[in-house]
Amino acid sequence: MRLQIVISVEEVSSGYVGVGITRKGLVCNTIPLKNEEEALADLRINCITAWGERVFLYRDSYNPMTSIIANYIDELYLGKEANPPKIRVLLPPREKMVKALKTVKLIPKGRYTTYSELAKAVGTSPRAIGNYMAKNPIPLIIPCHRVVRSDLRVGGYSYGPIVKAFILMREGIPVDMESGKLEPSRLLKAEELTRLVEVSEAVEVWQARVRL
- Give residue limits of the domains in the chain: 3-77, 95-211
The whole-angstrom separation of Cα 49 and Cα 145 is: 18
Q: How high is the pLDDT of residue 1?
A: 63
Q: Residues 195, 121: contact at Cβ < 8 Å? A: no
- 115-122 helix and 190-211 helix, angle to the nearest 10 degrees: 50
For residue 112, the cross-strand partners are: 187
Q: How high is the pLDDT of residue 180?
A: 92
Q: How high is the pLDDT of residue 212?
A: 64
Taken in order 81, 51, 202, 106, the sign of the CA dihedral is negative
Per-residue pLDDT of the chain (212 residues; tens, 9 = 90+): 678 899 999 999 999 999 999 989 999 999 999 999 999 999 999 999 999 877 788 777 678 899 999 999 999 999 999 899 999 999 998 999 999 999 999 999 999 999 999 999 999 999 999 999 999 999 999 999 999 999 999 999 999 999 999 999 999 999 999 999 999 999 999 999 999 999 998 988 787 777 76
The whole-angstrom separation of Cα 30 and Cα 131 is: 18
Residue 106, SS3 per DSSP:
coil
Q: Tell how far CA 177 is from the center of its chain.
A: 23
Q: How high is the pLDDT of residue 2?
A: 77
Q: How high is the pLDDT of residue 122?
A: 96
Q: How high is the pLDDT of residue 157?
A: 95
**Catalytic positions, please?**
144
Fold of 95-211: Arc Repressor Mutant, subunit A (1.10.10)
Q: How high is the pLDDT of residue 56?
A: 82
Query: How many helices (H) and strands (E) would you count in the chain?
Result: 7, 8
